[in-house]
Amino acid sequence: MALDKTGYPPLDFETFYNIIDGELSSTQNNVRYGINPFTLEKNPAVPVSSLHDVDRAVEAAGRAAKSWAEVPWDTRVSAIREYANAIEDKAEDFARILMMDTGKTVNLARDEISTCIQYLRGFCQLSLPSEVIEDAKERKVVTRYTPVGVVAGISPWNFPVQVACTWMAPAILTGNAYIWKPSPYTPYCSLKFAELGQHFFPPGVLQALSGDDDLGPLLTEHPNIQMVSFTGSTPVGKKVMESCSKTLKRVVMELGGNDPAIVCANVDPVSVAIKIASVAFCHSGQICIATKRIYIHEAVYDAVLAAMVEFVKTLKLGSGEDAYTGPINNKNHFEYVKDLLADVERTKLTVATGSTKPPSDMGGYYIVPTIIDNPPDDARVVVEEQFAPVLPLMKWSDEADVISRANNTNMGLGASVWSRDMDQAERLGKQLQAGNIWINTHAELQTSAPFPAHKQSGLGTAMAVDGLKACCNVQTIHTRPADGTT
């Protein structure tokens, strides 16, 4: 087989396989097809894994984990760095299949691939050395971190590869084997990422299984998987936790969010409106940490609303370089969003821009970016995680009251405060019940900073050294001198 310029066989981006024990593996005629959200055309066939496939992957992962744990840290770092370089080399191909997977515009798809590369490289800069707790003549106490073994990573459809890299890289870096289960809606880019990984990791260290929604429970219940990293919705997260409890598996969860943004009276209305809307409408709002409820001080409410409406009207829908955002990812979620908009119409909320009906002339699962002007706090569009380009703007006048309204949710992923008065921003920010507080910005992430979640938005902390520790058992060694020695 011809090698490409980086020295490994060219990837075929047309046919898709499971990756089990270092091999491409098909499920014969048992296949399924994703739907391209832009065109509603069928995407290529992907495997539907059975329990037999799961057992084979888990068996290979168990074997691989034992030897991979013995590989020196620096060697594991080198493998991940080379893998990142190879992804970079194929970035345009990956972005292309990520578009048909997710409905991302070409620019958003490129962004996700380049974020994956940054994440892989970023995690390689972290370390997890043993910690000396006490080093006295008569006693030494050291804590070290050992890999848990086999980690199953269950990922959602909105950021199929970026979200998976959040756990795949720390798991592999710390010496575990990782079995990747992408969402049935978005298996394509993930399967190819895993296929490419076979050139850099020994068989069984990085595997991928595609399937239906009934594949997840086969992993969460499996007795020989030691940890599940789950990223998805809060209701499914609860099922995952219940299932993992049967084997007392380690479980970390990144779940839904309903991020508030609090806009203070002293802001520049135009620049803040543009910044907040840019996050809210990016990827048609299908981002866990998108701004989803905007509380604007009454003194600037009209100015921010007007500026945001003007900006949002310029956001072009489509797939190309000139498009800001694409369609909703899948039919189920499209039906949910249409129902949410029907509720906006039924309850006679004020639509400042956009529409309660999808555009009739675009073909895919498109929703027009829509702003709802000052709905009541108990409106569905405020209470629920819309995960859609439908954004409610509400008025506030009293600090204590707006904090209580912003915190009145089971979600606690992110929140932001927008103010020119940094004391006010800090005062408000510290009262918000969320894992990630942003001041005059929103949704910024980096591998060196923990990404925690409060309330029902998650369990455990991703990213940074916390993310590495989450993939490890902690072991403390207490040592005394042997009798007769000093």
CB 155 within 8 A of CB 180: yes
474 vs 285: CA distance, rounded Å: 38
Q: How far is the CB of 329 from ligand NAD (least distance, A)?
A: 8
Residue with tokens 């008065």: 421
In the three-class reduction of DSSP (H, G, I as helix; E, B as strand; rest coil), residue 55 is classed as: helix
Shortest distance, CB of residue 13 to ligand NAD, whole angstroms?
22
CB nearer ligand NAD, residue 36 or residue 457: 457
Nearer to ligand NAD, 429 or 435 (CB): 435
Residue 477, φ and ψ in degrees, nearest 5: -110, 120
The residue of the chain with the least Cβ separation from ligand NAD equals: 216
CB-based contact 459:241 (threshold 8 Å): yes
CB of 231 vs ligand NAD, minimal distance in Å = 5
8-state DSSP, 358 = -
Q: In angstroms, what is the minimal distance from the CB of 228 to ligand NAD?
A: 8
Length of the chain: 486
d(CA 42, CA 63): 37
Binding interface with ligand NAD (CB under 6 A) = 154-159, 163, 181, 183-184, 213, 216-217, 220, 231-233, 236, 239-240, 254-257, 288, 385, 387, 413, 453, 458
Place of tokens 């004391």: 423
Q: Using the 8-state DSSP alphabet, how is residue 338 labeled? A: H
Beta bridge partners of 272: none
- Given 112, 195, 254, 385, which residue is catalytic? 254
Q: How far is the CB of 160 from ligand NAD (least distance, A)?
A: 9
| Residue 195 one-letter amino acid | E
φ and ψ at 129, to 5 degrees? Answer: -70, 160
Catalytic one among 288, 385, 471, 472? 288
Nearer to ligand NAD, 213 or 322 (CB): 213
Comparison of 16 and 159: residue with beta carbon closer to ligand NAD: 159
CB distance 179 to 94 below 8 Å: no
Active site residue 264: no
Query: Does the active-site annotation cover 254?
Result: yes
Cα→Cα distances 442→109, 287, 366, 407, 415, Å: 20, 12, 25, 17, 7
Task: Report which residue type is found at 281.
Answer: F
Say how far apart CA 94 and CA 113 lie, in whole Å: 7
Residue placing its CB nearer to ligand NAD in the complex, 224 or 476: 224
In terms of CB distance, is 9 or 235 closer to ligand NAD? 235
Phi, psi of 25 (to 5 degrees): -135, 130
Report the nearest approach of ligand NAD to the CB of residue 9 (Å): 29
* Largest pairwise CA distance in the chain: 87
What is the smallest separation between the CB atom of 194 and ligand NAD, expressed in angstroms?
14
Looking at the Cβ atoms of 155 and 419, the one nearer to ligand NAD is 155
Active site residues: 254, 288
